[in-house]
Structure 1
Amino acid sequence: MVNDNKTLLQSDLVRLGSRLRFFRTQRGWTLGELARRTNLSEAYLSRIESGDRQPSLAVLFELARTYHTSMAALFEVEPPSSAVVVRSVDANVYEGNGLLYRLLSNKGSLANLHPIHVTIPAQRQNECLYQHEGEEWLYVLSGELRLTLGEEEHILQPFDAAHFDAGIPHRLDALGDRDTEILLVSCEASHALLRSYL
């Protein structure tokens, strides 16, 4: 019975972490940005999002306040959408980290793949490198893209693609005086699957 309770708690923590990650990525925030807004450490927030740490009520109140939502919303389970098609008129445009993006899937934060249409403004003012677990694949639709991966820079033209480990610090910049548009597919590592092998 004790082991069953531990398994249920772990499952709930992973689900809560996934929900919190959804709130953060929906706003285009990195863990560093969330840490700055909440005065919580980036490492602690990462462990909460991965389901490895049980947050206190005070931390949950702070996260709900930061996300401008209710405590109950942090625990809601997103019902999987039965919609297969995402119509362009239904895809909301979000802004975060100087980027404009539209989510191209209705499957929510519990899906394995997260396809996004991203517009990188030509005049984007951003010097930050970002990194997170998982991998990313991108495809340039228009404009010219500079992909910074660690110490390397790659210039991509329309119809070029890149596939990389998102744990490598990276940044996207539009080159020239035109915005750059890309398709980006992000796939986060499954913590539950990883733990099953350890």
Structure 2
Amino acid sequence: MDTSEDVLAGVGPRLRALRRARGATLAALANETGLTASTLSRLENGKLRPTLEQLLPLARAHGVPLDDLVAAPPTGDPRIHLRPVRRSGLVMVPLTRRAGGIQAYKVIYPPAGRTATRKPRTHVGYEWFYVLNGQVRFLLGEQEFLVGVGEAVEFDTRIPHWIGSADERPAELLTLFGAQGERAHLAPSRH
């Protein structure tokens, strides 16, 4: 792994290559960045250790992200490694890890008959779900719906509701939930 000295040592040649690729002189770059031509020359030759105050105007002048000047290592693993949560017979796999805002889950409902009693609940928020596999029995207020694969539902969670598998197979859903009442707005594609 590169040390900070290795990373900083590579800045000079990158700065020189960027300036030359633009066809800019040290004097022109000095006018553009507010740094002196002498400072720029010493940075390019590795005789001066670059500071953030010097690198920011250089990144702007060259039109590149600061990370490109220092050849920053790639960011950490972007994959989400969260553990499934088992609650009331459900398996909930969190798909987001940020606090607040809309949360995404894959929820697996056990086969019908293995679920606790159908007891509609209410809570603050707004929910959207999409059926990935199986069939879902969905109670909303006084209404009952059967929701199949490829169908989506959006509802205000302050209305009494209950969700469960409609048959002998588990039902798998992709669920978005916003505690503050955010709504999922999906626009149909326009071809």
TM-score normalised to the size of structure 1?
Answer: 0.49
Does residue 144 of structure 2 align to residue 160 of structure 1?
no
Among 142, 148, 157, the alignment partner of 2:139 is: 148
Among 177, 180, 184, the alignment partner of 1:189 is: 180
Aligned pairs for 1:60-79 (under 5 A) are none
Q: In the alignment, what sits opposite 2:92?
A: 101
Among 104, 111, 118, the alignment partner of 1:115 is: 104
SS of the residue corresponding to residue 105 of structure 1 reads coil
Cα distance in structure 2, aligned partners of 1:120 and 1:127: 13
Cα distance in structure 1, aligned partners of 2:164 and 2:170: 9
Contact 1:141 1:181 (8 Å CA) reproduced? yes
How far did residue 95 of structure 1 move?
A: 1.1
Matched length: 105
Q: If you compute each CA radius of gyration, which structure gives the higher value, 1 or 2?
A: 2
CA-to-partner distance for each residue in 1:15-69, whole Å, 9 max, x for gaps?
xxxxxxxxxxxxxxxxxxxxxxxxxxxxxxxxxxxxxxxxxxxxxxxxxxxxxxx
Cα distance in structure 2, aligned partners of 1:137 and 1:84: 28
Among 130, 138, 142, the alignment partner of 2:129 is: 138
Q: Which segments of 5 or more consecutive residues in structure 1 lack a partner in the other structure?
A: 1-81, 191-198
Name whichever structure is richer in helix by fraction.
Answer: 1
TM-score normalised to the size of structure 2?
Answer: 0.51
CA RMSD of aligned residues (A): 1.9
How far did residue 163 of structure 1 move?
A: 0.4
Q: In the alignment, what sits opposite 1:12?
A: none
The verdict on how the C-alpha distance between 1:159 and 1:85 changes in structure 2, with shifts beyond 3 A counting, is: farther
How far did residue 186 of structure 1 move?
A: 0.5
Identity fraction in percent: 26
Q: Which segments of 5 or more consecutive residues in structure 2 lack a partner in the other structure?
A: 1-74, 182-191
How far did residue 91 of structure 1 move?
A: 2.5
Contact 1:136 1:186 (8 Å CA) reproduced? yes
